[in-house]
Amino acid sequence: MTKTISVTATAEQAPGAKPDAATTTPVKLKRGRPPKSATKPPAADTDTGATLEPAAKRRRTYTKRAKATENGTSLGMDEGVFFTNRLSALEADTTQFVPGDEDISMFEEARAAACISEGGVDGGGTTPSTPSALASTVGYQAKKIQLGSYVIDSWYLSPFPDEYSRHNLLYVCEYCLKYMKSEFTFKRHCQRCEQRHPPGDEIYRDDNISVFEVDGRKNKIYCQNLCLIGKMFLDTKTLYYDVEPFLFYILCENDSQGYHFAGYYSKEKRSSMGYNLSCIMILPSKQREGYGKLLIEFSYLLSKKESVPGSPEKPLSDFGLLSYRSYWRRAIYEILLACDGAVSIDYLAAQTGMTIDDIISTLQTDGMLHRMPGTPGSYAIVADAKKIREYVNKAQEKSPRRIDPCKLRWAPFLIKAPPSAAPTNRRRSTSTALAVNNSLVNITSDNENDK
């Protein structure tokens, strides 16, 4: 609801004179509101009580000052108000913080010196122009680790977090594998760390050698640290943080102080390809002591316990292929020396836990498979007993450490259903019966050949 009032907008008039009709303008106003011509009083500062300028004027003042700062000039107090008169013109002037040519040259010299100290400058002596280019040129990585009483050089780049990768030396606890970037933190951790062995179950112990089985799902942090350390010495390793589908077998040397980490290997819990080993690593300080072949032999012992032939994950690295061929040759030769009569490949697979493909590959590499004349598709194993015996004796002298199956305390992670289990349908029962009959025929024929 509105009402109309008359507002006089004219000069002074004589007392008692009536207003001119031409200068009287009707204005419609809403009830409860002042006329539009009314202005608000200027705001006052709550602290000082000083009258503040309108917001529009303050914005214009700040804009004017920003433009002046860009041009390298400064404004005086008479040209504008800075922070409601709380700062003087000298205090509000920010032009002195703009880097000049001398500042830029000092920064370039410091950055070049940092590149040289980190070994990141190329032969031409050029320096990168951006921080990202600087990081890629320097190649930040942990170049050494201190593990126990050893300081070990890194072979390959390992994806440690950024704050750790920028340090040349990382300190690693040999019991819990936690890595630290300062010696003080490392010493304090060693005094407080109560762990003296890897988390998990000790499934094998022989003299001062122990093997622990660690589940990647139950001990995720430990296994991730283990993979980061392993990547420092493995070029083809690509798994670091997704450790839940894997089991880790940790090789340790035990003494009165605890169990000291020496190496490990990992395998998938459910391998569709039948792999019994995914990754294997022995610390450089513990190499040339037979630990690599010891872990390979241990992986095949578990495969025989599972009654499933196993094979390492392909493709193998150069060092891995040499180690595995050496172990395959030794395992096959020992079986051949122990048998007097004919030996089949199925018998070798059952005794060694190896797959038929690995056995055939080893025999072909050594030239021990010969085609039988007159029977197409048939081959015979022909071996020189003297050469085999010499190789086995030399291998035993070189690496006397062996796995004793009697000292293993372990149950398979996945239990295979026995062949005599009740079938769920007719088709599955038929295939199971055929598989059992075939295996019995193979074993029987091998025993007959031995006789």
What's the whole-number average pLDDT of the chain? 75
pLDDT surpassing 90 at residue 262 = yes
pLDDT digits (tens, 9 = 90+) for 109-139: 888 887 776 554 443 444 444 433 433 434 5
Helix locations, 307-384, DSSP H: 318-338, 345-352, 356-365
- Asked if 267 contacts 319 with a C-beta cutoff of 8 angstroms, the reply is no
d(CA 222, CA 235): 21
d(CA 229, CA 231): 5
Contacting residues for 153 by C-beta, under 8 A, at least 6 apart: 143, 144, 284
pLDDT band at 142 (very low <50, low <70, confident <90, very high): confident
Residue with tokens 């002042």: 34
pLDDT surpassing 60 at residue 196 = yes
Return the percentage of the chain with pLDDT > 70, whole number: 67
Alpha-carbon Rg for the chain, nearest whole angstrom, is 41
Burial class (CB within 10 angstroms; exposed 0-12, middle 13-18, buried 19+) of 101 = exposed
Beta strands at 209-215 and 246-254: parallel, antiparallel or unpaired:
antiparallel
Helix and strand counts by DSSP (H, E) for the chain: 13, 15
Stretch 229-251: mean pLDDT: 88
Residue 314 confidence (pLDDT): 86
- Asked if 37 contacts 17 with a C-beta cutoff of 8 angstroms, the reply is no
pLDDT digits (tens, 9 = 90+) for 347-370: 999 899 999 999 999 999 888 888
pLDDT surpassing 80 at residue 264 = yes
Residue 45 confidence (pLDDT): 53
**Higher-pLDDT residue of 450, 293:** 293
pLDDT digits (tens, 9 = 90+) for 306-315: 888 999 998 8
Assign 304 to helix, strand or coil. Answer: helix
pLDDT digits (tens, 9 = 90+) for 366-399: 888 888 887 777 888 888 888 899 999 998 888 7
pLDDT band at 450 (very low <50, low <70, confident <90, very high): very low
d(CA 287, CA 294): 12
pLDDT surpassing 80 at residue 223 = yes
313 belongs to the catalytic site: yes
User: Distance of alpha carbon 443 from its chain centroid, rounded?
Assistant: 46
Stretch 160-182: mean pLDDT: 91
pLDDT band at 339 (very low <50, low <70, confident <90, very high): confident
d(CA 172, CA 188): 12
What phi and psi values does residue 322 have, to the nearest 5 degrees?
Answer: -65, -45
Catalytic residue among 202, 253, 313, 334: 313
Stretch 157-179: mean pLDDT: 90
Closest CA to 163 of 141, 134, 145, 144: 141
pLDDT digits (tens, 9 = 90+) for 77-115: 444 555 666 777 777 777 777 888 888 889 888 888 877
pTM of the model: 0.62
Residue 90 confidence (pLDDT): 77
User: Mean pLDDT lowest for which of 2-6, 168-172, 305-309?
Assistant: 2-6
**Higher-pLDDT residue of 387, 437:** 387
pLDDT digits (tens, 9 = 90+) for 406-434: 999 998 866 555 444 433 433 332 222 22
